[in-house]
């Protein structure tokens, strides 16, 4: 009786899920689904300790399930072999110790859009263009028509085969992060430059020292570029080839300064469409000179934070002289992040319209609270408050007398700050110095008078200091009383 009840309940449950008997039989018959979870067009094989990649015959049994998303990540197979014709759109093969891919393994996946091969053991010697070839036609191998995203991050690629992407002409996103590319060689340049439709390129943590010429010439549609955590000491001038670049990440690179007058540390080339720039966590960055960012005409989001040595951002770092050269033009900054640097001040002319900024963070800087930063107290604090940021983190660091105060407090009490003169004198200390001098004078007068009185009375004779009476007696001597003294006046 209990068995019948359980069976009846199970039947109702399956009917509620709109699952017919034929589909249930298919699921039970599919060998892959004994290892994985097969539901709603998805096959989840993550963390199943799979040591051998499924055979083509096993994949073929999934046809009736019509899977579009297959996840085989975090397993232990080293080789990838051919997959049967399936409507898979997203295939995740990451973190599975993959070392080798059989030629044409993905050629039957005509709808494959995203392929994730990250965090494996692929090398340049074992990763060739035939791994991504499509079906064979009488003339040549066809490309994978739908492939748009390829993730090769965190493998062991020191270089790329020059023809690696010849079967992926429509690729729009490529991730090479975490590969030890180092100096980008000629064949790697050819490989990357062969992707005309590329829009997103990630090369984070690749030990890159420079971006070679012509590498970014062909990808005319490139919009997002991540070069963070590399060994770049200057801003790559090859960036000028990216005519449609919208986003650039240069975080964690050992760039020391930006100076348009320097050949060793030039500023940015002209990137007319760039909207967002990241230069954070740069341990060596100290200075951003005038005009260094002037080529970024459309910049709306600027991230310059967590740079412990950054002490100077020139007032005209973003300003661009107009065609006549009589006036300056600034980019339309909407978001500005300058927190946790070593800035003593922020110039009011850094951007044109502070009132149009939607998000701003300038906290945790050692600000000098004097007349040069008065505008920050009067104008910037209300703007920061208006964006709901923490203005209380705008703290005075110098002069020492101002350290207890925040700029918000100074704004609330309508404090007018004095100027530190060119000799480094601190006006805030004048009152204390004058008071100390006055007290010193008032105390010294009675002390001196007391010492003079004691001296006149001879109280210091015991230490060899005679009073005025003893001194006068020492110099007095009575005339001789000899009557026979004869005055001889020759």
Task: Compute φ and ψ for 40, nearest 5 degrees.
Answer: 45, 50
Q: What is the pLDDT of residue 138?
A: 61
Q: What is the pLDDT of residue 146?
A: 94
The verdict on pTM exceeding 0.85 is no
Which regions in the chain score pLDDT beneath 50? 1-29, 476, 485-487, 489-490
Class of domain 16-230: alpha beta
pLDDT tens, position by position, 234-288: 999 999 999 999 999 999 999 999 998 888 888 999 999 999 999 999 999 999 9
pLDDT tens, position by position, 215-234: 999 899 999 999 999 999 99
Q: What is the pLDDT of residue 29?
A: 47
pLDDT tens, position by position, 378-399: 999 999 999 888 778 899 999 9
Q: Mind spelling out the 3-state secondary structure of the chain?
A: CHHHHHHHHHHHHHHHCCCCHHHHHHHHHCCHHHHCEEECCEEECCCCCCCCCCCHHHHHCCHHHCCCEEECCCCCCCEECCCCCCCCCEEECCCCCCCEECCCCCCCCCCCCEEECCCCCCCCCCCCHHHHCCCECCCCECCCCCCCEEECCCCCCCCCCCCCCCCCCCCCEEECCCCCCCCCCHHHHHHHHCCCCCCEEECCCCCCCCCCCCCCCCCCCCCEEECCCCCCCCCCHHHHHCCCCCEEECCCCCCCEECCCCCCCCCCCCCCCCCEEECCCCCCCCEECCCCCCCCCCCCEEECCCCCCCCEECCCCCCEECCCCCCEECCCCCEEECCCCCCCCCCCCCCCCHHHCCEEECCCCCEECCHHHHHHHHHHHHHHHHCCCCHHHCEEEECHHHCCCEHHHHHHCCCCCCCCCCCCCCHHHHHHHHHHHHHHHHHHHHHHHHHHHHHHCCCCHHHCCCCHHHHHHHCCCCCCCCCCCCCCCC
């Amino acid at each position: 009786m209990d068995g019948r009840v359980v069976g009846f309940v199970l039947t109702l449950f399956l009917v509620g899920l709109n699952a017919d008997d034929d589909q249930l039989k298919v699921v039970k018959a599919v060998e892959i689904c004994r290892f994985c979870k097969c539901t709603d067009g998805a096959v989840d094989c993550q963390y199943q300790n799979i040591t051998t990649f499924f055979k083509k015959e096993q994949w073929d049994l999934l046809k009736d399930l019509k899977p579009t998303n297959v996840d085989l990540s975090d397993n232990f197979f080293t080789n990838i072999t051919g997959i049967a014709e399936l409507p898979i759109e997203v295939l995740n093969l990451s973190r599975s110790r993959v070392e080798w891919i059989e030629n044409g393994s993905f050629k039957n996946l005509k709808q494959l859009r995203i392929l994730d091969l990250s965090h494996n053991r692929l090398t340049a010697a074992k990763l060739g263009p035939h791994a991504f070839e499509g079906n064979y036609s009488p003339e040549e191998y066809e490309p994978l028509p739908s492939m748009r995203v390829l993730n090769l991050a965190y493998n062991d690629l020191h270089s790329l085969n020059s023809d690696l992407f010849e079967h992926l002409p429509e690729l729009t996103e490529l991730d090479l992060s975490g590969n030890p590319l180092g100096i980008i060689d000629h064949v790697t340049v050819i490989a990357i430059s062969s992707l005309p439709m590329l829009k997103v390129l990630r090369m984070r943590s690749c030990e890159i020292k420079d971006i070679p010429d012509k590498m970014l010439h062909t990808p005319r549609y490139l919009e997002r570029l991540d070069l963070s955590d590399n060994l770049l000491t200057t801003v790559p001038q090859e960036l000028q080839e990216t005519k449609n670049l919208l986003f650039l990440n240069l975080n964690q690179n050992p760039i020391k300064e930006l100076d348009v007058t320097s050949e060793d540390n030039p500023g940015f080339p002209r990137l007319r469409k760039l909207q967002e720039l990241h230069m954070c966590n740069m341990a060596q960055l100290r200075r951003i000179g005038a005009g260094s960012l002037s080529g970024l005409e459309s910049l709306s989001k600027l991230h310059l934070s967590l740079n412990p040595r950054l002490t100077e951002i020139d007032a005209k770092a973003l300003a661009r002289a107009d065609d006549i050269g009589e006036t300056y033009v600034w980019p339309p900054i909407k978001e500005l992040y300058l927190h946790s640097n070593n800035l003593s001040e922020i110039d009011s002319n850094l951007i044109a319209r502070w009132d149009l900024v939607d998000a701003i963070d300038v906290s945790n800087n050692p600000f000098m609270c004097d007349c040069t930063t008065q505008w920050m107290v009067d104008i910037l604090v209300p703007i920061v408050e208006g964006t709901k940021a923490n203005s209380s983190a705008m703290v005075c660091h110098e002069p020492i007398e101002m350290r207890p105060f925040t700029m918000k407090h100074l704004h609330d009490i309508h404090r007018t700050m004095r100027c530190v003169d060119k000799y480094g004198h601190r006006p805030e200390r004048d009152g204390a110095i004058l008071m100390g001098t006055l007290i010193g004078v008032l105390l010294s007068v009675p002390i001196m008078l007391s010492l003079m009185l004691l001296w006149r009375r001879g109280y210091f004779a015991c230490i060899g200091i005679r009073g005025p009476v003893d001194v006068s007696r020492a110099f007095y001597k009575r005339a001789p009383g000899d009557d026979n003294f004869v005055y001889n006046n020759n």
